[in-house]
Every structure is written in structure tokens, then in C-alpha cells.
Amino acid sequence: MGRIGNIKDRKAKQDSKRAKIYTKLARLITVAAREGGTDPEYNASLKSAIDKAKADNMPNDNIDRAIKKAVGDSSGDQYEKITYEGYGPSGVAVIVEALTDNRNRTAGEVRHAFDKCGGNLGTSGCVSFMFDKKGQIIIEKNENVDEETLMMIALEAGAEDFITEEEAYEIITLPEDFPQVKDKLLQERYSFIGADIVYIPQTETQLQVEDTKKMEKLIDMLEDNDDIQGVHHNWKEE
């Protein structure tokens, strides 16, 4: 089925966690605006966060509220970005990206999720060498998207690779080229299922049925945590 999985399942999962996703995106926007200013034209991190929110169909009102919170929130909670690495069931490599105002709380909750699901939290660098950090844009296949035209626009904008999956097109970029490729595709009015900087595994690991259930539970536990912004792994999903 490919690395990006079943599109319908992906959408259903996103829909079921929509409120949770919006909460995380709002935090990302607020922190970016607080650190670099509220004008996305002069704040690349804020622009990236807003684009990500729009790709997830976050309403403009929610985006505006998140930006205003950066100005009006006098509590000034200090958030920091932390990356955790570990092993899921049967040694699946897992990278967890967090944005937290309490490092100890988040570390404890991440460790608990790994322990509960047959894995263990590792040290920094223990699995990241097994991944390539790339920009990834996913566009659903439909009658309104011409493959040749899309591929030409993406590659001319600086994309590194163009992959045709069963249900979607996957556009891969170097992290530094991701903004310009994404912006070009947005200018051409393409809609994204996903657009983000991700960790793409160099090799994938297959799991038996029992370990598959544990892995699914681990991902769900991590994604249900408001502090967690992204979960990356090398599990080969069927």
C-alpha cells in the first residue's frame, strides 16, 4: 500500500481526532507568534504553522485566536521543542516530537506509553540515524489532478522526488526546499492531505498481529497527548 497508507483510513483517523489536532496546531501557532512576531510574512515559523493548520482544515477563526493569544497571554508559559527516540514492539524505531511547557511531565508520559506497549524509550540518537528528514506533501489522486502536470510543477519548484502511490501522490523535498515547493503548489491551487517536515525511514519493519495491536496502541497513546506534535516510525503498515 505504500508508506502513506490508506487515504480513507487516514482521513477517518484525522476526523476522529480533529479537536485534538486543532489544540496542538493552536499551540504551535501561538508559540511561533510569541517567539517571532505575529506577521507570517516576517516569521517563517508562523507561516509554516499556519500553512500546516490550513492543510488540516483548521478554521481561520481558530488560527486568528491562536495568534492573538500570543499577544494577549500574560502568563507567558515557556514551551520548548523536544525530540524523543525509542523502540516500539519488536524493535520498531520511533521518533516523537513534542512541544511542552513541562519537560518532566512529558518525558514521564512518553516513557509510560512506550513501557505499556511493549517498547522502551531510548537515548537521543538511538534511532534517528535510521531515518532521513525530508519535506513531504501528499495530494490525493482524483480526476481533477493531472499526474504529469503535478509532477512537472513539483520538480520545477525544487522537489527531490515524486512518488505515485495507489491513492495519492507523494512529493519529497529537502527540508530547506519544502517551503518553496509547498508555496508553489498552493499557488497552483492544489489541496493537501498532508504537508510537513517528516522523518522517512530508510528501511521498514513488519510486525506480527499481536505486535501490530501494541504498535497501534502506542501511536494512539502518543497522539492523544496534547504535548506531542508528531510521531514517526519505521513500521511497515499493511
Residue 30, domain member (yes or no): yes
Mean pLDDT for each consecutive 10-residue tract of the chain (238 residues)? 64 74 94 92 92 88 93 72 97 97 96 97 96 95 95 97 94 96 94 90 94 96 95 89
- Kindly give, in sequence order, each residue whose CB lies less than 8 Å from that of residue 190, ignoring residues fewer than 6 positions away: 139, 145, 150
Q: Do 153 and 99 lie in a common domain? A: no
CATH number of the structural domain spanning residue 175: 3.30.70.980
Q: Do 121 and 93 lie in a common domain? A: yes
* 28, 55, 72 - which closes a domain: 72
Distance, first Cα to last Cα, the chain: 6
The residue range of the domain holding 116 is 80-129+204-233
- Residue located via cell numbers 504498535: 215
Q: Do 102 and 195 lie in a common domain? A: no
Q: Do 135 and 197 lie in a common domain? A: yes
What's the total number of domains in the chain? 3
Q: Do 49 and 95 lie in a common domain? A: no
The pLDDT, as a whole number, for residue 114 is: 98
Residue 2, domain member (yes or no): no
CATH number of the structural domain spanning residue 23: 1.10.10.200
pTM: 0.87
The pLDDT, as a whole number, for residue 19 is: 85
Q: Give the separation between CA 133 and CA 128, rounded to whole angstroms.
A: 9
The pLDDT, as a whole number, for residue 78 is: 83
